[in-house]
Chains A and B, each alone.
Chain A
Amino acid sequence: MNIIIKTKSLTKQYGHILAVDHIDLEVFEGEIFGLLGPNGAGKTTTIRMLTGQIKPTFGEAWIAGYDIIHESIKAKESIGVVPEVSNVYDEMSAWENLIFAAELYDVPRSERSKRAIELLKFFGLYERKEDKVANFSKGMKRRLTIATALIHKPKVIFLDEPTTGLDVQSSRMIRILLKQLNKTGVTIFLTTHYIEEADQLCHRIAIINKGKIIALGSPEELKTKAEEEHIIEISFSISKDVEEYEDIENQLKNLNYVNSISRIGDKFRLYVENTSEAIPIIIDFCRKNNLKIISINTLKPSLEDAFVKITGLSPEIMKIEKETKKRVSLG
């Protein structure tokens, strides 16, 4: 397979912060590659370096064979970029936005209209082509931003958190469109902090945390890694009292063979080394504390479990950060 994106010790330092810390990546032509990590992990910084918006402090990278620093114009001609926040011009129509993109990317004059029509149809915006973008919903703006990034038929498209901030339906639509786009041969490099999204969409995933790549592989490979650990899911007949839950959670965590614990609704998930040793201990604990078990299951690890095991981060942390971020942008 051809390598279309390659980085060598790519690094970005902001003052004391190593936003991106010596990362080495290889992305193959035709794949959907995901950079998965919590907020502040260095995803955006990585994309901004690869797309020539900021200069790396150290290291190198190539896109379609072009050095991103010394041949940045050539590299830029081969890529499309969709930033975290849709950046189409509100004051112009969808059509004008596409034509302006075509002008900047040297699309021959005779092909501009044809491409714009194709893309508007593909992204379901054709009926609204003369409308000012200011009247578009968030999902429509995101689709138009992706369309403008494709006007010059780039080999690679970069998307920074393509579904963040969108409603469920718009997000689903974008994921479907990205898959269709990939089938036409476009390499997709995206970032996300949604584990499920990475799982559904990506052929390969790199997990990034604190600027470092800490795991790399297909979703299946990552799940297999997590399989060395087992999961027991258990629920009890107890009141909905928060303190009681926390109390039980703390006690369960301290049991032998239990590595870590998370809570999903009224269920506890115990990550254990050895199921057959752990289950009797858990049952014993319940009996001693008069806890009535409603259900107990052993689970096949999901990508989320793999993520927890590999990063040591709770998946809840990603969700909490996402919420606060949303609030900030609203306020």
Chain B
Amino acid sequence: MAKTWIKSLIKAFYIAKKDAKVYYFKAPNFTYGLLMPFALFIAFSLSGQINPLLIIPGLISLVILFGTTSIEAVAVVLEKQTGTIERLLIAPISFFTIVLGKALAGLFFGLILSIIILIPSAIISGISIANPLLVLIAIIISSLTFSTLGVLVSAYAKWVPEAQMLSNFLRFPMAFICGVFLPIENMPIQLVIIARFLPLTYSVEALRISVGNSISIFTYLIDIVALILFSFIFLIIGSKILQKRLE
């Protein structure tokens, strides 16, 4: 049993490696993943006060969200469109392994993207990061969660722009109610409740805690567990959707 799991995890890594080679360098969406959160951010921060300890974690969460969902739109939809997905379907692997492989490639992409953002912005704003290890864990787990979300949406979509549009339905509302710009405590209770059902909330919170050493470690742990749960749910639903769409 454990052996089967390790085997499928290894194969998921091979799929991820292949995805990186085939899709990750030809994506114009590379820029989309970076530009969009930046634009949102600049527009927003022009209107209010800027506290780097609040702003930088939010920015990183947004970059991961936009970056991974954009790259998954390319990696999942093109694999279906060109028919190379057949190659994965005929192999002795499960649908879960396929979507996990896709998500793992996204995870590495999110990780690299956030480090590219985090280091210069920390240097420029002069903050010192309270707990680098916890930041790294929060970044990795957030990247996994948003990649699995991207896989789920793209498993449904037939075209890359369709996947981007469907993602936007989730990304933009999340960007505004998950505490990226305003702490959720300052929002009406109805919105707070909704925010608690959305993964971005937990990602932002975990990053704020670990970057700024603000609230309790206990909250951080809850955030990480919540993100892992989201990932699992997205992976399971994503593999079911992919299976249905390929019938």
Q: Please give the residue numbers on chain A whose beta carbons come within 8 Å of chain B beta carbons, in ascending order.
A: 51-55, 73-74, 76-77, 79, 81, 83, 85, 87-92, 96, 100-101, 103-106, 148
Contacts and interface: CB of A to CB of B under 8 A. Distances in A.
A103 B23 CA distance: 19
Nearest to B79: A89
B88 interface: yes
Contacts of B88: 104
Contacts of B188: none
A87 B86 contact: yes
Contact of A91 (B21, B83, B86): B21
A163 to B, nearest CB: 19
A156 to B, nearest CB: 12
A199 to B, nearest CB: 28
Given A92-B21, A96-B21, A106-B7, A81 B90 contact: yes
A89 B92 contact: no
Nearest to A152: B92
B26 A104 contact: no
A53 B90 contact: yes
A104 B11 contact: yes
Interface string B3-21: 0000100010011001001
B209 to A, nearest CB: 39
B89 interface: yes
A96 B246 CA distance: 26
B93 interface: yes
B8 to A, nearest CB: 10
Contacts of B15: 104
Contacts of A106: 7, 92
Contact of B87 (A55, A73, A77, A87): A87
A92 B84 contact: no
A100 B16 CA distance: 11
Contact of B14 (A53, A88, A89, A103): A103
B92 A105 contact: yes
Contact of B91 (A74, A96, A105): A105
Contact of B84 (A74, A87, A105): A87
B247 A73 contact: no
24 contacts: A52-B89, A52-B90, A53-B246, A54-B247, A76-B90, A81-B86, A81-B90, A83-B90, A87-B86, A87-B87, A88-B84, A88-B87, A89-B87, A91-B26, A96-B21, A103-B11, A104-B15, A104-B91, A104-B92, A104-B93, A105-B91, A106-B7, A106-B92, A148-B87
B94 interface: yes
A81 B7 CA distance: 22
Q: Which of A100, A103, A104 has the most CB of B within 10 A?
A: A104
A96 B90 CA distance: 18
A164 to B, nearest CB: 15
Q: Which of A79, A88, A89 has the most CB of B within 10 A?
A: A89
Contacts of A55: 247
B92 A53 contact: no
Contacts of A103: 11, 14
B22 interface: yes
A159 B83 CA distance: 16
For the side of the interface on B, what is the size category?
20 to 34
Interface string B225-247: 00000000000000000000011
A91 B20 CA distance: 11
A54 B26 CA distance: 31
Given A87-B86, A92-B21, A100-B18, A73 B94 contact: yes
A96 to B, nearest CB: 7
A106 B14 CA distance: 11
Given A54-B247, A100-B14, A106-B7, A92 B22 contact: yes
A77 B92 contact: yes
Nearest to A79: B90
Contacts of A77: 92
Contacts of B14: 100, 103-104
A148 B50 CA distance: 56
B86 A89 contact: no
A111 B165 CA distance: 45
Contacts of A101: 87, 91
Nearest to B83: A87
B86 to A, nearest CB: 5
Interface in B78-123: 82-84, 86-94
A89 B93 contact: no
A148 B246 CA distance: 22
Nearest to B25: A91
A53 to B, nearest CB: 5
Given A100-B18, A106-B7, A85 B83 contact: yes
B15 to A, nearest CB: 8
A51 B26 CA distance: 32
B18 A92 contact: yes
